[in-house]
Chain A
Amino acid sequence: QQQVKQSPQSLIVQKGGISIINCAYENTAFDYFPWYQQFPGKGPALLIAIRPDVSEKKEGRFTISFNKSAKQFSLHIMDSQPGDSATYFCAASSDRGDAGGTSYGKLTFGQGTILTVHP
């Protein structure tokens, strides 16, 4: 129930195209859904995040779409650029923690998507 499933594992798009990465979760206690971007040799960096009280959040070329009933959320990268080539992780957490109160600060990550944007 703690899993976050991410797809696809890898994605190749042309410069200027739209990159779409999808995630699905099972735990209805999750109430915070961030996306992280990771370049080789670096730690994950927070890209954009959403809470379930809104269905969409946009920051520049990056948009999160959230479907609470389907327990799915996705990252859209508009006008993809070669500099966007990186690994993207979705994640989820619950401010309330789990039933045992032992995972309050825990982020559960998806398996990651390697995005390659060709010039």
Chain B
Amino acid sequence: DSGVTQTPKHLITATGQRVTLRCSPRSGDLSVYWYQQSLDQGLQFLIQYYNGEERAKGNILERFSAQQFPDLHSELNLSSLELGDSALYFCASSSGQGGYGYTFGSGTRLTVV
């Protein structure tokens, strides 16, 4: 157990729908990162939050949004889902703001049908 908890583990939904993925970081970690892993694109950085504030942004689609709450858990919202959004979504956490010392969760496998 990495200490980073992601729920749900699996999600199947239809095109056009909206889903919310949840992440609880390791105790004491202030940064939360979201990554998308697909077969053709590999691991792609989506967004980072540090202590409740957006800190860095990757090629995150406008249909996707995230937030980090006062208790430091984070949610990734995916809307108007398309077949191409099917992927593994990983959350990671770290104590600092930099790109080191990441601990990844086990991921949420999203299937859009």
Q: A residues bordering B, Cβ < 8 Å?
A: 32, 34, 36, 41-46, 49, 89, 91, 93-95, 97, 102-112
Closest beta carbon of chain A to B109's beta carbon, Å: 9
Report how many A-B pairs have Cβ atoms within 8 Å: 77
Question: Told that A44-B43, A105-B31 touch, could you supply 5 new A-B pairs with CB distance under 8 A?
Answer: A32-B99, A43-B2, A43-B4, A43-B107, A103-B57
Which B residues are in CB contact (< 8 Å) with A102? 56-57
Does B98 sit at the interface, judged by CB under 8 A? Answer: yes
Partner of A95, one of B4, B94, B98: B98
Contact present for B101 and A106 (CB under 8 Å): no
Contact surface of B with A, Cβ cutoff 8 Å: 2, 4, 31, 33, 42-45, 48, 50, 55-58, 90, 92, 94, 97-107
Closest to B107 in A: A43
A-B CB contact pairs (8 Å), 27 listed = A32-B98, A34-B100, A43-B2, A43-B104, A44-B90, A45-B2, A91-B99, A94-B99, A95-B98, A95-B100, A102-B56, A102-B57, A103-B45, A103-B56, A103-B57, A104-B55, A105-B31, A105-B50, A105-B55, A105-B94, A105-B98, A106-B48, A106-B56, A106-B58, A107-B99, A109-B42, A112-B42
**Contact assessment for A46 and B102 in the assembled complex, using a CB-CB cutoff below 8 Å:** yes
Name A43's contact: one of B44, B50, B100, B105 (CB within 8 Å). B105
Give min CB distance, A51 to chain B, whole Å: 9
